[in-house]
Amino acid sequence: MAELLNQTINQDLFELLDWLPVGFVDLLFVDPPYNLSKSFGAASFRERSVADYQLWLEAWLPRLLPILKPTASVYLCGDWRSAAAIQTVMQQHLILRNCITWEREKGRGAKANWKNAAEQIWFGTVSERYTFNLEAVKLKRRVIAPYRDASGQPKDWQRQSSGNYRLTHPSNLWTDLTVPFWSMSENTDHPTQKPEKLLAKIILASSNPGDLVFDPFLGAGTAAVVAKKTGRSYVGIELDPVYCCLSEKRLALAEQNRSIQGYAEGVFWERNSQPNLE
């Protein structure tokens, strides 16, 4: 196990499945190719029927279950087209606890349809015993109408030099994320890179410092980078060698810079509201 710790493994997940240790993962984050025709470096994923996508999910998700600790949490990303397949497979193998919807700020364009500006993340656990650090994932929102109680005191908000803010409990609707773009330091050439802020919410809520985060479709390494920045260990698998290099470069940069855009002072800031940084 020590050989795997904090490693980026450049291999096909299907070739590794039978060789992974048992019961070593606290948090499994999975961002597989969605059911769309898309190229990832030299390899590409072909869109298939929902039934065939479900078969593809079943070819690897159940085989990852033995690597999980009994207290582990699982997050699986997808979109509305594959919702039925993902929900079925998650429910079959895990205790399904929620489905998060997060807003893509710009959305994916369409001429004769509603623009798709939402993606989903299914959240499940192995058992009833699992980590959920509610206090670690509060959202700091600007207060538009600052209400005061009868004695004139602010009701559930605080005044700061940059404005009035309220700390709110996190819901399953995330509207505070920005998909990495060219001027953000976390941006790489990976075509479907997740925001570090999205991973920070998941990792801070569903693991503790020192825990191990496993990502079998690592891409440009977002889960590993955020695990490192938040004091967790990681293991990531990625098929494409160039994406593995992007991940390693980001992990090296994280030695010096542990900041996560949109997360500061122990709270998540509403989109474009973090003073001086966004």
Ligand X SMILES: C[S@@+](CC[C@H](N)C(=O)[O-])C[C@H]1O[C@@H](n2cnc3c(N)ncnc32)[C@H](O)[C@@H]1O
* Residue 238, C-beta contacts closer than 8 angstroms, at least 6 positions apart: 8, 9, 10, 217, 218, 219, 221, 244, 247
Residues 184-213 that bind ligand X (CB under 6 A): 190, 192-194
220 binds ligand X (CB under 6 A): yes
Q: Is 236 in the site for ligand X (CB under 6 A)?
A: no
Q: What is the 3-state secondary structure (H, E, C) of 8-54?
A: EEECCHHHHHHHCCCCCEEEEEECCCCCCCEEECCEEECCCCHHHHH
Cβ-based neighbours of 233, under 8 Å, separated by 6 or more: 5, 6, 210, 211, 212, 213, 227
Looking at 130, 165, 243, 269, which residue binds ligand X (CB under 6 A)?
A: 243
Indicate the SS3 state at residue 258. Answer: coil
Provide the minimum distance between the beta carbon of 41 and ligand X in the complex, in angstroms, as a whole number: 6
Residue 10 is a binding residue for ligand X (CB under 6 A): no
Candidates 31, 119, 176, 211; binder of ligand X (CB under 6 A) is 31
User: Please, which residue, 53 or 157, has the CB nearer to ligand X?
Assistant: 53
- Shortest reach from residue 184's CB to ligand X, in Å: 13
The CB-of-102 to ligand X minimum distance in angstroms stands at 13
Positions in the binding site for ligand X (CB under 6 A): 12-14, 31-33, 40-41, 43, 190, 192-194, 217, 219-220, 222, 237-240, 243
